[in-house]
Amino acid sequence: MSKKSKTEPIAVLALNPSLDISYEVTQLLDDQKVPSMNTRYEPGGNGINVSETLSRLDIPVNCSCIIAGHVGEFVLQLLQYELHDLHYLSVEGESRINTIIMQRSPQGQCEVDGSGPDVPETVLEEIEESFMKACNSGFGIMSGSVPPGVPDDTYGRLAKKIREQGGKAVVDAYGTLLEKSLDSKPFLLRVNQYALEMYTRKKLRKLDEVVAITRQFQQDHNLNHVCVTFGEYGALLLDSKYSYVCTPPKTHIRSTVGSGDALLAGLVATYASGGDSATALKLGVACGTATTTHAGTGLCNRDEVDRLMEELEVKRLDS
Ligand SMILES: Nc1ncnc2c1ncn2[C@@H]1O[C@H](COP(=O)(O)OP(=O)(O)O)[C@@H](O)[C@H]1O
Ligand SMILES: [Mg+2]
Protein backbone atom coordinates (compact mmCIF):
# COMPACT_ATOMS: atom_id res chain seq x y z
CA MET A 1 0.00 0.00 0.00
CA SER A 2 1.17 3.53 -0.72
CA LYS A 3 2.87 5.54 1.99
CA LYS A 4 1.18 8.37 3.87
CA SER A 5 2.17 11.20 1.57
CA LYS A 6 0.63 9.57 -1.48
CA THR A 7 -2.92 9.28 -0.23
CA GLU A 8 -5.67 11.78 -0.98
CA PRO A 9 -7.14 13.52 2.08
CA ILE A 10 -9.69 11.48 4.01
CA ALA A 11 -12.19 13.07 6.40
CA VAL A 12 -14.66 11.21 8.59
CA LEU A 13 -17.80 12.66 10.15
CA ALA A 14 -18.51 10.91 13.46
CA LEU A 15 -21.72 12.49 14.74
CA ASN A 16 -22.45 9.91 17.40
CA PRO A 17 -19.33 8.39 19.00
CA SER A 18 -19.88 5.99 21.85
CA LEU A 19 -18.23 4.28 24.73
CA ASP A 20 -18.50 0.58 23.90
CA ILE A 21 -18.53 -1.66 26.95
CA SER A 22 -18.26 -5.34 26.20
CA TYR A 23 -18.60 -8.35 28.44
CA GLU A 24 -17.63 -11.90 27.66
CA VAL A 25 -19.80 -14.42 29.51
CA THR A 26 -20.04 -18.18 29.51
CA GLN A 27 -23.80 -18.16 29.16
CA LEU A 28 -26.60 -15.70 29.88
CA LEU A 29 -29.23 -17.18 32.15
CA ASP A 30 -32.70 -15.88 32.99
CA ASP A 31 -32.91 -14.19 36.39
CA GLN A 32 -29.25 -14.95 37.14
CA LYS A 33 -26.21 -12.79 37.67
CA VAL A 34 -23.36 -13.94 35.47
CA PRO A 35 -19.74 -12.82 35.82
CA SER A 36 -17.86 -11.28 32.93
CA MET A 37 -14.64 -13.13 32.04
CA ASN A 38 -13.38 -10.19 30.02
CA THR A 39 -14.63 -6.60 30.22
CA ARG A 40 -13.49 -4.00 27.73
CA TYR A 41 -13.99 -0.24 27.45
CA GLU A 42 -13.40 0.98 23.92
CA PRO A 43 -14.23 3.97 21.78
CA GLY A 44 -16.97 3.11 19.30
CA GLY A 45 -19.56 4.34 16.83
CA ASN A 46 -19.20 3.76 13.09
CA GLY A 47 -17.25 6.88 12.17
CA ILE A 48 -14.79 6.36 15.02
CA ASN A 49 -14.22 2.72 14.03
CA VAL A 50 -13.59 3.69 10.39
CA SER A 51 -11.13 6.40 11.48
CA GLU A 52 -9.26 4.09 13.86
CA THR A 53 -8.93 1.39 11.22
CA LEU A 54 -7.53 3.85 8.67
CA SER A 55 -5.06 5.06 11.26
CA ARG A 56 -3.95 1.48 11.96
CA LEU A 57 -3.36 1.03 8.24
CA ASP A 58 -1.06 4.09 8.40
CA ILE A 59 -3.46 6.14 6.33
CA PRO A 60 -3.81 9.76 7.52
CA VAL A 61 -7.37 10.56 8.51
CA ASN A 62 -9.11 13.60 9.93
CA CYS A 63 -12.06 12.84 12.18
CA SER A 64 -14.67 15.44 13.14
CA CYS A 65 -16.79 14.26 16.03
CA ILE A 66 -19.31 15.33 18.64
CA ILE A 67 -18.94 14.34 22.26
CA ALA A 68 -20.83 15.05 25.46
CA GLY A 69 -20.26 14.89 29.21
CA HIS A 70 -18.07 12.53 31.22
CA VAL A 71 -18.64 9.64 28.86
CA GLY A 72 -17.46 11.81 25.98
CA GLU A 73 -14.33 12.82 27.94
CA PHE A 74 -13.53 9.17 28.53
CA VAL A 75 -13.99 8.39 24.83
CA LEU A 76 -11.59 11.24 23.97
CA GLN A 77 -9.04 9.86 26.41
CA LEU A 78 -9.26 6.42 24.84
CA LEU A 79 -8.91 7.95 21.39
CA GLN A 80 -5.85 10.10 22.02
CA TYR A 81 -3.40 7.30 21.22
CA GLU A 82 -5.36 6.15 18.19
CA LEU A 83 -6.34 9.30 16.30
CA HIS A 84 -3.87 12.08 15.69
CA ASP A 85 -6.06 14.46 13.72
CA LEU A 86 -9.24 14.68 15.73
CA HIS A 87 -11.52 17.70 15.82
CA TYR A 88 -14.31 17.60 18.38
CA LEU A 89 -17.17 19.77 19.54
CA SER A 90 -18.94 19.30 22.87
CA VAL A 91 -22.69 19.36 23.42
CA GLU A 92 -24.79 19.06 26.57
CA GLY A 93 -25.76 15.68 27.97
CA GLU A 94 -23.72 12.48 27.76
CA SER A 95 -22.26 10.60 24.81
CA ARG A 96 -23.95 7.27 24.38
CA ILE A 97 -22.86 3.94 25.79
CA ASN A 98 -23.23 0.82 23.66
CA THR A 99 -23.20 -2.51 25.45
CA ILE A 100 -22.04 -5.71 23.80
CA ILE A 101 -22.40 -9.14 25.33
CA MET A 102 -20.40 -11.98 23.83
CA GLN A 103 -21.63 -15.39 24.91
CA ARG A 104 -19.27 -18.36 24.63
CA SER A 105 -21.68 -21.24 24.68
CA PRO A 106 -23.69 -21.41 22.54
CA GLN A 107 -21.60 -18.81 20.75
CA GLY A 108 -23.53 -15.58 20.19
CA GLN A 109 -23.42 -11.85 20.53
CA CYS A 110 -25.93 -9.16 21.34
CA GLU A 111 -25.69 -5.41 21.46
CA VAL A 112 -27.77 -2.59 22.92
CA ASP A 113 -27.02 0.86 21.51
CA GLY A 114 -27.71 4.19 23.21
CA SER A 115 -29.19 6.99 21.10
CA GLY A 116 -26.77 9.81 21.95
CA PRO A 117 -27.12 13.45 23.01
CA ASP A 118 -29.23 16.04 21.18
CA VAL A 119 -27.20 17.96 18.65
CA PRO A 120 -28.27 21.62 18.25
CA GLU A 121 -28.36 23.06 14.73
CA THR A 122 -25.49 25.48 15.39
CA VAL A 123 -23.17 22.65 16.49
CA LEU A 124 -24.16 20.58 13.48
CA GLU A 125 -23.30 23.48 11.19
CA GLU A 126 -19.92 23.93 12.85
CA ILE A 127 -18.95 20.25 12.71
CA GLU A 128 -20.07 20.04 9.08
CA GLU A 129 -17.81 22.96 8.27
CA SER A 130 -14.81 21.26 9.86
CA PHE A 131 -15.60 18.01 8.00
CA MET A 132 -16.06 19.71 4.61
CA LYS A 133 -12.82 21.61 5.00
CA ALA A 134 -10.83 18.49 5.92
CA CYS A 135 -12.42 16.58 3.04
CA ASN A 136 -11.48 19.23 0.50
CA SER A 137 -11.17 17.41 -2.85
CA GLY A 138 -10.53 14.07 -1.15
CA PHE A 139 -12.80 11.50 0.50
CA GLY A 140 -15.60 12.41 2.91
CA ILE A 141 -16.91 9.42 4.88
CA MET A 142 -20.34 9.47 6.51
CA SER A 143 -21.26 6.30 8.31
CA GLY A 144 -23.88 5.01 10.72
CA SER A 145 -26.95 6.40 12.39
CA VAL A 146 -27.30 10.07 13.34
CA PRO A 147 -28.08 11.34 16.84
CA PRO A 148 -31.32 13.08 17.87
CA GLY A 149 -31.79 16.52 16.31
CA VAL A 150 -29.87 15.66 13.14
CA PRO A 151 -32.11 15.56 10.04
CA ASP A 152 -32.15 12.34 8.00
CA ASP A 153 -31.14 14.13 4.81
CA THR A 154 -27.80 15.20 6.35
CA TYR A 155 -25.64 12.61 4.55
CA GLY A 156 -27.35 13.33 1.22
CA ARG A 157 -26.99 17.08 1.61
CA LEU A 158 -23.30 16.80 2.54
CA ALA A 159 -22.57 14.22 -0.17
CA LYS A 160 -23.89 16.70 -2.74
CA LYS A 161 -21.69 19.48 -1.33
CA ILE A 162 -18.66 17.17 -1.37
CA ARG A 163 -19.24 16.41 -5.03
CA GLU A 164 -19.66 20.10 -5.80
CA GLN A 165 -16.31 20.89 -4.17
CA GLY A 166 -14.60 18.17 -6.23
CA GLY A 167 -14.45 15.49 -3.51
CA LYS A 168 -15.72 11.92 -3.25
CA ALA A 169 -18.52 11.15 -0.81
CA VAL A 170 -18.62 7.76 0.88
CA VAL A 171 -21.88 6.71 2.54
CA ASP A 172 -22.58 3.72 4.77
CA ALA A 173 -26.13 3.82 6.05
CA TYR A 174 -29.51 2.16 5.99
CA GLY A 175 -33.19 3.14 5.95
CA THR A 176 -34.12 6.76 5.31
CA LEU A 177 -30.55 8.04 5.72
CA LEU A 178 -29.54 5.76 2.86
CA GLU A 179 -32.56 6.56 0.70
CA LYS A 180 -32.06 10.30 1.13
CA SER A 181 -28.40 10.12 0.11
CA LEU A 182 -28.90 8.29 -3.19
CA ASP A 183 -29.75 11.30 -5.35
CA SER A 184 -26.47 12.93 -4.36
CA LYS A 185 -24.60 10.14 -6.20
CA PRO A 186 -21.95 9.20 -3.65
CA PHE A 187 -18.64 7.89 -5.04
CA LEU A 188 -18.93 4.80 -2.85
CA LEU A 189 -21.85 3.31 -1.04
CA ARG A 190 -21.49 0.40 1.39
CA VAL A 191 -24.50 -1.52 2.62
CA ASN A 192 -24.74 -4.80 4.42
CA GLN A 193 -27.10 -7.52 3.24
CA TYR A 194 -29.74 -6.47 5.75
CA ALA A 195 -29.71 -2.82 4.56
CA LEU A 196 -30.04 -3.93 0.94
CA GLU A 197 -32.88 -6.29 1.84
CA MET A 198 -34.63 -3.47 3.69
CA TYR A 199 -34.22 -1.21 0.69
CA THR A 200 -35.38 -3.75 -1.91
CA ARG A 201 -37.96 -5.31 0.45
CA LYS A 202 -36.71 -8.70 -0.72
CA LYS A 203 -34.89 -11.56 1.00
CA LEU A 204 -31.70 -11.96 -1.00
CA ARG A 205 -30.20 -15.43 -1.14
CA LYS A 206 -28.34 -16.18 -4.34
CA LEU A 207 -25.20 -14.31 -5.41
CA ASP A 208 -26.43 -13.94 -9.04
CA GLU A 209 -29.57 -12.29 -7.78
CA VAL A 210 -27.65 -9.91 -5.49
CA VAL A 211 -25.28 -8.96 -8.32
CA ALA A 212 -28.18 -8.22 -10.70
CA ILE A 213 -30.09 -6.18 -8.10
CA THR A 214 -26.95 -4.27 -7.07
CA ARG A 215 -26.05 -3.47 -10.70
CA GLN A 216 -29.57 -2.17 -11.31
CA PHE A 217 -29.44 -0.14 -8.09
CA GLN A 218 -26.04 1.29 -9.10
CA GLN A 219 -27.31 2.29 -12.54
CA ASP A 220 -30.61 3.71 -11.28
CA HIS A 221 -28.74 6.06 -8.95
CA ASN A 222 -25.64 6.67 -11.03
CA LEU A 223 -23.24 5.45 -8.34
CA ASN A 224 -19.53 4.90 -9.06
CA HIS A 225 -19.00 2.06 -6.59
CA VAL A 226 -21.36 -0.08 -4.53
CA CYS A 227 -20.20 -2.61 -1.95
CA VAL A 228 -22.60 -5.13 -0.43
CA THR A 229 -21.28 -7.14 2.51
CA PHE A 230 -22.51 -10.56 3.66
CA GLY A 231 -20.83 -11.24 7.00
CA GLU A 232 -19.08 -14.61 6.91
CA TYR A 233 -19.62 -14.90 3.15
CA GLY A 234 -17.53 -11.80 2.49
CA ALA A 235 -18.44 -9.00 0.14
CA LEU A 236 -19.32 -7.91 -3.37
CA LEU A 237 -17.97 -4.75 -5.00
CA LEU A 238 -19.23 -3.21 -8.21
CA ASP A 239 -17.46 -0.44 -10.06
CA SER A 240 -18.54 1.10 -13.35
CA LYS A 241 -17.21 -1.89 -15.32
CA TYR A 242 -16.91 -5.02 -13.23
CA SER A 243 -18.26 -6.96 -10.27
CA TYR A 244 -15.88 -8.57 -7.79
CA VAL A 245 -16.51 -10.96 -4.97
CA CYS A 246 -14.25 -12.04 -2.11
CA THR A 247 -15.02 -14.72 0.46
CA PRO A 248 -12.91 -14.91 3.63
CA PRO A 249 -11.57 -18.16 5.08
CA LYS A 250 -13.39 -19.67 8.04
CA THR A 251 -12.32 -17.66 11.05
CA HIS A 252 -12.53 -18.01 14.81
CA ILE A 253 -14.98 -15.22 15.59
CA ARG A 254 -14.82 -13.33 18.87
CA SER A 255 -17.02 -10.34 18.02
CA THR A 256 -18.26 -8.95 14.73
CA VAL A 257 -18.68 -5.41 16.10
CA GLY A 258 -16.87 -2.92 13.86
CA SER A 259 -16.25 -5.38 11.02
CA GLY A 260 -18.35 -3.45 8.47
CA ASP A 261 -16.57 -0.23 9.50
CA ALA A 262 -13.16 -1.85 9.13
CA LEU A 263 -14.18 -3.14 5.70
CA LEU A 264 -15.19 0.36 4.64
CA ALA A 265 -11.84 1.72 5.86
CA GLY A 266 -10.02 -0.88 3.71
CA LEU A 267 -11.99 0.16 0.62
CA VAL A 268 -11.35 3.87 1.09
CA ALA A 269 -7.67 3.33 2.03
CA THR A 270 -7.17 1.65 -1.34
CA TYR A 271 -9.05 4.15 -3.49
CA ALA A 272 -7.35 7.07 -1.70
CA SER A 273 -3.97 5.50 -2.52
CA GLY A 274 -4.86 5.12 -6.20
CA GLY A 275 -5.60 1.36 -6.00
CA ASP A 276 -8.17 -0.53 -8.09
CA SER A 277 -11.44 -2.16 -7.06
CA ALA A 278 -10.07 -5.72 -6.82
CA THR A 279 -7.42 -4.54 -4.34
CA ALA A 280 -9.95 -2.38 -2.48
CA LEU A 281 -12.23 -5.38 -1.95
CA LYS A 282 -9.37 -7.61 -0.85
CA LEU A 283 -8.12 -5.07 1.69
CA GLY A 284 -11.70 -4.39 2.81
CA VAL A 285 -12.46 -8.06 3.46
CA ALA A 286 -9.06 -8.53 5.15
CA CYS A 287 -9.82 -5.63 7.53
CA GLY A 288 -13.41 -6.77 8.15
CA THR A 289 -12.51 -10.37 8.82
CA ALA A 290 -9.42 -9.58 10.93
CA THR A 291 -11.66 -7.39 13.08
CA THR A 292 -13.95 -10.33 13.87
CA THR A 293 -11.06 -12.11 15.65
CA HIS A 294 -11.02 -9.42 18.35
CA ALA A 295 -13.38 -9.30 21.32
CA GLY A 296 -15.75 -6.34 21.81
CA THR A 297 -15.01 -3.38 19.54
CA GLY A 298 -11.38 -4.46 19.13
CA LEU A 299 -10.32 -3.63 15.56
CA CYS A 300 -7.85 -5.25 13.19
CA ASN A 301 -4.16 -4.45 13.16
CA ARG A 302 -1.80 -4.08 10.25
CA ASP A 303 0.03 -7.44 10.66
CA GLU A 304 -3.17 -9.48 10.70
CA VAL A 305 -4.44 -7.63 7.67
CA ASP A 306 -1.19 -8.21 5.76
CA ARG A 307 -1.36 -11.95 6.56
CA LEU A 308 -4.96 -12.22 5.37
CA MET A 309 -4.16 -10.26 2.19
CA GLU A 310 -1.81 -13.10 1.19
CA GLU A 311 -4.54 -15.65 1.65
CA LEU A 312 -7.55 -13.93 0.11
CA GLU A 313 -8.64 -14.25 -3.49
CA VAL A 314 -10.85 -11.83 -5.37
CA LYS A 315 -12.96 -13.23 -8.18
CA ARG A 316 -14.14 -11.08 -11.07
CA LEU A 317 -17.62 -12.20 -12.00
CA ASP A 318 -17.99 -10.69 -15.49
CA SER A 319 -16.13 -11.90 -18.55
N1 LIG B 1 -18.69 -14.25 10.69
C2 LIG B 1 -17.74 -13.66 9.91
N3 LIG B 1 -16.68 -14.39 9.42
C4 LIG B 1 -15.74 -13.81 8.66
N5 LIG B 1 -15.76 -12.51 8.28
C6 LIG B 1 -16.78 -11.75 8.73
C7 LIG B 1 -17.84 -12.27 9.56
N8 LIG B 1 -18.71 -11.28 9.85
C9 LIG B 1 -18.23 -10.18 9.22
N10 LIG B 1 -17.08 -10.46 8.55
C11 LIG B 1 -16.26 -9.54 7.73
O12 LIG B 1 -16.70 -8.20 7.91
C13 LIG B 1 -17.33 -7.69 6.71
C14 LIG B 1 -18.56 -6.88 7.06
O15 LIG B 1 -19.46 -7.67 7.77
P16 LIG B 1 -21.06 -7.53 7.67
O17 LIG B 1 -21.64 -8.42 8.72
O18 LIG B 1 -21.49 -7.79 6.28
O19 LIG B 1 -21.29 -5.99 7.99
P20 LIG B 1 -21.90 -5.24 9.27
O21 LIG B 1 -20.73 -4.97 10.16
O22 LIG B 1 -22.53 -4.02 8.72
O23 LIG B 1 -22.90 -6.18 9.93
C24 LIG B 1 -17.61 -8.94 5.86
O25 LIG B 1 -17.63 -8.61 4.49
C26 LIG B 1 -16.44 -9.85 6.24
O27 LIG B 1 -15.24 -9.45 5.59
MG1 LIG C 1 -22.58 -8.30 10.60
Pocket residues for ligand 1 (CB within 6 Å)? 192, 229-232, 234-235, 248, 251, 253, 256, 259-260, 263, 285, 288-289, 292
**Residue 268: half-sphere exposure toward Cβ, Cα within 13 Å:** 41
Q: For 40-75, what is each residue's pLDDT tens digit? A: 999 999 999 999 999 999 999 999 999 999 999 999
- CA 317 / ligand 2 centre spacing (Å): 23
Question: Among 229, 285, 299, 312, which residue has the most ligand 1 atoms within 8 Å of its CB, making it the best to mutate?
Answer: 229
Name the closest-CA residue to atom 20, ligand 1: 260
pLDDT for 5: 55
The reported pLDDT for the residue numbered 318 is 85
Q: Which residues of the chain have pLDDT under 70?
A: 1-5
Atom of ligand 1 nearest to the CA of 235: 25
Ligand 1 centroid–CA 54 distance in Å is 17
CB atoms within 10 A of CB 224: 17
Q: For domain 7-28+35-316, which CATH number applies: 3.40.50.300, 3.40.1190.20, 1.20.140.10, 2.60.40.60? A: 3.40.1190.20
Please state, rounded to an integer, the average pLDDT across all residues of the chain.
96
**Domain coordinates of the chain in residue numbers?**
7-28+35-316
